[in-house]
A and B are shown apart, each in its own frame.
Chain A
Amino acid sequence: MTSGAKKLFFAAVALSLLLFAAQARAQLLDMGSGTNLSSVMYFEPPHEQQVEVRLSGAEMSPLPGVALYDVKKLKIEEYGKDGKLEAVAQTPECIYAPLDGVASSPGHLDLSLDGGKIHLQGEGFLWQRNDQSLIVSNQVHTVIKMGTWKLTTP
């Protein structure tokens, strides 16, 4: 998997981590739910002091049936080793199935990648970890900032 693919999927991977972390916290509290979730992951040495991914969610609660969780106001930020914010993923609400590695939502998805060079928005998404795929089903809008060379007459 190339770094480009990693960039686009960092959100989904990070989502997994957040949800697992939240799930662990929920188990600790023995309540099956949590609020104001936040998690920070750091780079491996020698950059262990620098934040790699910052995750936050307003609320997580289990849904009836097989392990499903409802996560609200999810925000995931990824930083470069230089501390620069490289990617941000946000969704107001999504449902996550950790055992299947599937996250989905009929709501809005906002992805900003490569320091804002690629910005994607859409309504309704499905991420499948095993297939390494992300589907956005409606009203997709992407802006890619293309670096190019424009000719000018001297």
Chain B
Amino acid sequence: MKTRTLVLVLFLSLSCVLAWAQTNAPAAKPVEQDLDISSDSFYFDGITNQMVYLGHVFVTYDVKDKLTCERLTVDLPADRGNPTNIVAETNVVVELLESNGKTDHVTANKAVYFYQRLNPVTNMVNNLTNVIYAVTNETVTFTGGDPMPKLWSSNGSSSGYMLADPLIFHVIERKFETPGHVEMHYRQISSPGKTNNSPFGL
């Protein structure tokens, strides 16, 4: 019985993490957010059109997301605009502050940010086109091999973590996706009367 309960809790936790809103798609508004990068040194390669930051790299995105690593490579697009590809390597540590106050933590050997402007979306309701908006596809893909990317949440009651390779974070939706190998690790805490709390605090 205890095992079944644990399995159920794990399943529910994973479902929450990977849940995707399929209905009532929210509207999108264009905003400008700062990507703030600090490092010991910098190198620009005019041939590959890459900016490379080296040593104690610290990145803040939209104030609430933080990343540290040892090497950060930013690909600049030929037609200006946003960087299309950003790669963080070596001792990558990410903190994602969510609106509910909790912080998701990720560690990995490598993280790849990918940006893509998608076509406008038309939503038909009652035979009327009432929603038209463009969506930007922004993802961060964590990989690592050994050790695998690790995700955990700190909200005061968390006692578990997830290993996944790859681990994909959808920046706009603030959701994680695990299309590949996943391991759920849960350290059961003796707490009489409480059996259905999410072990990941998610």
Given contacts A149-B29, A151-B173, A152-B29, contact A5 B76 (CB under 8 A): yes
- One digit per residue, 1 when the CB lies within 8 angstroms of any chain A CB and 0 when it does not, for chain B 17-59 equals 0000000101111111111111111111111010101000000
Is residue A40 contacting chain B, with contact meaning CB distance below 8 A? no
CB within 8 A of B172: which of A7, A145, A148?
A148
* A139–B133 alpha-carbon span in the complex (Å): 40
- One digit per residue, 1 when the CB lies within 8 angstroms of any chain B CB and 0 when it does not, for chain A 98-135 equals 00000000000000001001001010000000011111
**Which residue on A lies nearest to B30, using beta carbons?**
A149
Is residue B91 contacting chain A, with contact meaning CB distance below 8 A? no
Contact A147 B32 (CB under 8 A): yes
Taking the closest CB of chain A, its distance from the CB of B42, in whole angstroms, is 4
Is residue A36 contacting chain B, with contact meaning CB distance below 8 A? no
Contacts of A136 in B (CB 8 A): 41-43
CB within 8 A of A4: which of B29, B36, B49, B173?
B49
Is residue A67 contacting chain B, with contact meaning CB distance below 8 A? no
**Which residue on A lies nearest to B138, using beta carbons?**
A148
Contact A153 B32 (CB under 8 A): no
CB within 8 A of A149: which of B28, B38, B53, B83?
B28
CB within 8 A of B46: which of A9, A114, A138?
A9
Classify chain B: how many residues form its interface, as a range. Answer: 35 or more
Contacts of B80 in A (CB 8 A): 3-4, 7, 114, 117
Is residue B7 contacting chain A, with contact meaning CB distance below 8 A? no
Taking the closest CB of chain B, its distance from the CB of A124, in whole angstroms, is 9
* A122–B31 alpha-carbon span in the complex (Å): 27
Classify chain A: how many residues form its interface, as a range. Answer: 35 or more
* A150–B171 alpha-carbon span in the complex (Å): 10
Contact B35 A150 (CB under 8 A): no
* A150–B70 alpha-carbon span in the complex (Å): 29
* A47–B19 alpha-carbon span in the complex (Å): 55
CB within 8 A of B134: which of A4, A131, A132, A149?
A149
CB within 8 A of A144: which of B37, B38, B40, B47?
B37
Contacts of A1 in B (CB 8 A): 46-47, 49
* A1–B46 alpha-carbon span in the complex (Å): 7
Contact B29 A147 (CB under 8 A): no
A residues touching B (Cβ–Cβ < 8 Å)?
A: 1-5, 7-9, 114, 117, 120, 122, 131-154
A-B interface, 10 closest residue pairs, ranked by CB to CB distance from nearest: A132-B46, A4-B76, A2-B78, A136-B42, A149-B28, A140-B42, A144-B35, A134-B44, A5-B46, A151-B26
B residues touching A (Cβ–Cβ < 8 Å)?
A: 24, 26-47, 49, 51, 53, 61, 74, 76-83, 115, 131, 133-136, 138, 171-173
15 pairs, CB–CB < 8 Å, chain A vs chain B: A1-B47, A2-B49, A3-B79, A140-B38, A143-B34, A143-B35, A144-B34, A146-B35, A146-B61, A147-B82, A149-B133, A149-B135, A150-B29, A151-B28, A152-B27
